[in-house]
Amino acid sequence: MIPKVENIASIHPLAKPITASVQVPGSKSFTNRALVIAVLADGVTTLHGTSDSNDSSVMIELLRQLGVEIVAEEDVIYVKGIAGNFRTYKGTLDVEDAGTVMRFISAVCCLVPGEITLKGSERMHQRPIKELVDALKQLGANISYLENEGFPPIKIKGGTIKGGNVNVNSSISSQFISALLMIAPLLQKDSEVNIAGEQVSEPYIDMTLSVMKQFGVGIAKNKGSYQIKTGGSYKSTNYTVEGDASSASYLFALAALTQSTIRVTNVSGKSLQSDARFVDILERMGCKLNKTDSFIEVTGTGKLSSVNVNMQDMPDTAQTLAVIAAFAKGETIITGLKTLQLKETKRINALQSELSKMDVECEAGADYIKIKGGEPKGAFINTYNDHRMAMAFAIAGTRVEGMMIEAPEVVKKSFPTFWTTLSAMGINIDTE
């Protein structure tokens, strides 16, 4: 029985393989980093090919509330940087359910004179921020919790942060490190960020360093630490954001499941985005792969084999892989998933529940899921207000009849044009 919900998307299987060449929206990760650094730079920066995700829209709105002049015109954004010289602000900023925004804005607000309350959605108030708050306090920030210790909402009395040495536990999120690195050049003292514990998703930190370098600031990186000189100033620039590799993963999954050939023309085979390496896993499973400096292309061969893979550095594509694994021969083991439980929903639990509806055998633990491939059937999929659940399971509908996705509008968080992109490729989708 299908529960009564406001919106449902029903996806119909492809009658035959397709060949398509498409672009995906700009990288949400690169866009949000570039927005923050453009604000901290001196002068007007022009950002091309930016993400149209809800997360990036929230970031823009909050930076405007802090007094930054930002003009957005389709996929071009103009940011009038203020070199860290924020006007006094007293009030509340709502990050909604945007985790990246919460982490990055928390650090930025430490530079802002005044008193700021940072809050978010109910789920955001369940996502830990203690490690970042502790690190910012070590650098001189004045931050307090308004409800539960270690979780938003938080209150920041800005203008007290100075710099110095800091130890950060980054085993929960690499975004804690990125947030510190981006503001460090503007602090009064040289800073050294030392990694305590396991460092997860390190490629995302490399992305941060790449954007900082594009804006004229370099950082010394040693094993387990980053050194940042004070007095370094970001320079305004023209910056082009490449396509979002996480979004592209769903289209590559479509190719894998339907023997289609899909080329994504705005994600480079040499991309720094860790999720761009998702296609290497598909190649191991039996797909054909073509990577160049300007595009990535995947062709499904009709044969999918199971894999044993650690997804610690690309957790955002774990759900996509889990759905593909349901159709692969043998048992796929996906590990390195502990951060998935801290995302928009508890993603390991959600995967196990929804795959089971499709008659897929799976076993899950704190940081892994084992999936026995076979002949999945269509099912009504709960999305848990999680964009990646909706998109990953929608792709299964291009292979089996009866896939119905609850609340399809949740894709706006990262890939607002997801459904129209599929439709333009010839996939039949009914919405009700």
Q: What is the CATH number of domain 8-25+242-431?
A: 3.65.10.10
**Model confidence at 3: pLDDT above 80:** no
**Model confidence at 240: pLDDT above 80:** yes
Task: Give the integer Cα–Cα distance in Å for 272 and 328.
Answer: 28
What's the order of all strands across the beta sheet hosting 191-196?
A: 165-169, 191-196, 225-228, 220-222
Average pLDDT, the chain: 94
Question: Quick one: pLDDT at residue 1?
Answer: 44
Q: What is the mean pLDDT of residues 27-55?
A: 96
In terms of Cα–Cα distance, which of 101, 383, 414 is closest to 247? 414
Q: What is the pLDDT of residues 416-429, one digit of tens each?
A: 999 999 999 999 99
* Residue 244 a catalytic site member: no
Domains 8-25+242-431 and 28-240 belong to one CATH topology: yes
Pairing, β 361-364 against β 331-335: unpaired
Q: What is the pLDDT of residues 284-317, one digit of tens each?
A: 999 999 999 999 999 999 999 999 999 988 989 9
3-state secondary structure of 158: strand
Measured over the CA atoms of residue 249, residue 177, residue 183 and residue 89, the dihedral's sign is positive
Selected catalytic residue, list 55, 97, 275, 316: 316
- Residue ranges of domains in the chain: 8-25+242-431, 28-240
Q: Which fold has domain 28-240?
A: UDP-n-acetylglucosamine1-carboxyvinyl-transferase; Chain (3.65.10)
Question: Quick one: pLDDT at residue 343?
Answer: 63
Question: Quick one: pLDDT at residue 83?
Answer: 96
Determine contact, residues 70/41, Cβ cutoff 8 Å: no
Residue 139: band (very low, low, confident or very high) from pLDDT cuts 50, 70, 90: very high
Q: What is the pLDDT of residues 103-136, one digit of tens each?
A: 999 999 999 999 999 999 998 999 999 999 999 9
Determine contact, residues 412/53, Cβ cutoff 8 Å: yes
In terms of Cα–Cα distance, which of 9, 8, 22 is closest to 426? 22
Q: What is the pLDDT of residues 141-181, one digit of tens each?
A: 999 999 999 999 999 999 999 999 999 988 888 899 999 99
In terms of Cα–Cα distance, which of 19, 17, 28 is closest to 51? 28
Name residue 200's amino acid. V
Q: What is the pLDDT of residues 177-203, one digit of tens each?
A: 999 999 999 999 999 999 987 777 888
Q: What is 219-277 written as a DSSP string? A: -EEETTEEEE-TT---B--EEEPPB-HHHHHHHHHHHHHHT-EEEETTS-TT-S-GGGG
3-state secondary structure of 165: strand
Task: Give the integer Cα–Cα distance in Å for 102 and 150.
Answer: 13
Task: Give the integer Cα–Cα distance in Å for 210 and 391.
Answer: 29
**Model confidence at 20: pLDDT above 90:** yes
Q: What is the pLDDT of residues 393-422, one digit of tens each?
A: 999 999 999 999 999 999 999 999 999 999
